[in-house]
Amino acid sequence: MPQTLHDVVFVDGVRTPFGKAGEKGIYAQTRADDLVIRCIRELMRRNPGLPPARVEEVAVGATTQIGDQGLTLGRMAALLSGLPTTTPGYSIDRMCAGGMTAVTTVAGSIAFGAIDVAIAGGVEHMGHHPMGEQVDPNPRIVAERLVDPSALVMGKTAENLHDRFPTITKARCDAYAVASQTKLARAYDDGKIQPDLVPMATRHAEKGWGMATVDEPPRRGTTIDDLTGLKTPFRAHGNVTAGNAAGLNDGATACLLASGEAAEELGLPVKMRLVSYGFVGVEPEVMGIGPVPATEKALRSAGLTIEDIGLFELNEAFAVQVIAFLEHFGLADDDPRVNEYGGAIAVGHPLASSGVRLMTQLARQFEEHPEVRYGLTAMCIGIGMGGCVIWENPHHADFGKEK
């Protein structure tokens, strides 16, 4: 019997404010699982036409799946969010792309017809669980020269990218980082960020109870002079600094996905339609180049070219990897279609949660740009991978038609 594939649509997305990792951060004594639970509850509150029993899967990405990010987090978060016991769930680890992979994995189930509605998200509490905590990499990976030792340190892989692309100077990366801070500040001033932020209650043994309502990492007013003299911790006289890279952060995201038929039946909004996606592997020691072949793969799958893409949400793990992407596709460092609301250098990058932040921001931009038909979300991924998801704008006049 022939299999009918179903359209997959992005209904809604939310996130907590992102915090700085560490004892001084807003989430220092807040549980990681409570962050993603808050997001799931908010999705259900914002979409009252969706009966909880219709949510057929909860997938949550987390890079470090121990402690308050462990124990099959997707299922535990579903139960603690008030979803019925009939809603199953699971966890995903693809490092930085955990949330992105949660989306594409449940999307496959929806497209195949196995489920109609799902929640996908990601969480990372890097204050509780630094990247690599309690891991034991097989020594053969270095001893047998399968990868360069620098592949296991993300900042060193960014320095390696500078070696590969000498035209990407520290000055260019610093200028890009300043622009990210400036764009995020402008987006906040224009009320573009706040609609999808979920206020998060916090607790601290000494400070008491609090309420996180805005992102903690941004440095409004950052200038080139502020970044010029920063230390280069990954290489003496290097190029990668705390100013032109994302920091260590805590935060969570979640989004609601559905089949086109279920969205119509339940009266759910359609903010984007998933067109195609691609994940690839690259040399681990230059993992930042991953979004380039991932995007090429997703474009081929969709029958599109880079000229068809009108909006880009690129994760800014490091400025050098974003600029490498832009340079490859012939885009300017300051192309206004790229990260209109700023990016992870300014807002933070809680690893597995970031992919859904990109999607939520792209959905918001689609509303403002009905002239744009296609947009993409892309990111580099630790241990040498890249991911890209292409979306169609329902506000475009040709939405849903053959290209």
Q: Measure the CA–CA gap between 7 and 167, rounded to whole angstroms.
A: 42
- Is 380 assigned a catalytic role? yes
By the 8 A CB rule, do 22 and 84 touch?
no
- For the chain, helix, strand, coil in percent to 5 are 35, 20, 40
Name the residue among 380, 398, 400 with its Cα closest to residue 388.
380
* Residue 362 covered by a domain: yes
pTM value > 0.95: yes
* Residue 290 covered by a domain: yes
- In single-letter form, the type of residue at position 340 comes to E
By the 8 A CB rule, do 305 and 46 touch?
no
* Residue 397 covered by a domain: no
* Residue 279 covered by a domain: yes
By the 8 A CB rule, do 23 and 275 touch?
no
Q: What does each of the 403 residues of the chain score in pLDDT, given as a tens digit?
A: 677 899 999 999 999 999 999 999 999 999 999 999 999 999 999 999 999 999 999 999 999 999 999 999 999 999 999 999 999 999 999 999 999 999 999 999 999 999 999 999 999 999 999 988 898 989 898 788 888 889 889 999 999 999 999 999 999 999 999 999 999 999 999 999 999 999 999 988 888 899 999 999 999 999 999 999 999 999 999 999 999 999 999 999 999 999 999 999 999 999 999 999 999 999 999 999 999 999 999 999 999 999 999 999 999 999 999 999 999 999 999 999 999 999 999 999 999 999 999 999 999 999 999 999 999 999 999 999 999 999 999 999 999 888 6
Q: Residue 197 phi/psi, 5° resolution?
A: -85, 135
C-alpha distances in Å from residue 292, one per residue of 67, 152, 314: 34, 20, 11
CATH number of the domain bearing residue 146: 3.40.47.10
- Run of H or E residues at 268: none
Torsion from C-alpha of 365, 366, 371, 373, nearest 10 degrees: 130
* Residue 151 covered by a domain: yes
* Residue 321 covered by a domain: yes
What total of structural domains would you count in the chain? 1
Q: Measure the CA–CA gap between 219 and 296, rounded to whole angstroms.
A: 34
Q: Residue 214: which residues within 8 A CB-CB, separation 6 or more?
A: 17, 188, 197
* Residue 340 covered by a domain: yes
Q: What is the pLDDT of residue 355?
A: 98
By the 8 A CB rule, do 62 and 123 touch?
yes
Q: Measure the CA–CA gap between 385 and 239, rounded to whole angstroms.
A: 22
Q: What is the pLDDT of residue 402?
A: 80
Catalytic residue among 39, 96, 255, 388: 96
State how far Cα 365 lies from the chain centre: 16
Q: Residue 106: which residues within 8 A CB-CB, separation 6 or more?
A: 57, 59, 115, 118, 119, 120, 257
Q: What is the pLDDT of residue 185?
A: 98
* Domain ranges, residue 343: 142-192+275-392
Q: What is the pLDDT of residues 101-141, one digit of tens each?
A: 999 999 999 999 999 999 999 999 999 999 888 989 898 98
By the 8 A CB rule, do 346 and 183 touch?
yes
- In single-letter form, the type of residue at position 245 comes to A
Q: Measure the CA–CA gap between 124 and 36, rounded to whole angstroms.
A: 9
Locate 385 and state its tokens.
Answer: 């991978």
* Residue 88 covered by a domain: no
Report DSSP letters for 305-324, one per residue: -GGGEEEEEE--SBHHHHHH
Task: Give the single-character DSSP code of 4.
Answer: P
By the 8 A CB rule, do 213 and 223 touch?
no
Catalytic residue among 39, 173, 255, 380: 380
Q: Measure the CA–CA gap between 246 and 347, rounded to whole angstroms.
A: 8
Alpha helix positions (H), 203-353: 224-228, 260-266, 291-302, 319-328, 344-347
- Is 39 assigned a catalytic role? no
Catalytic residue among 128, 173, 349, 388: 349
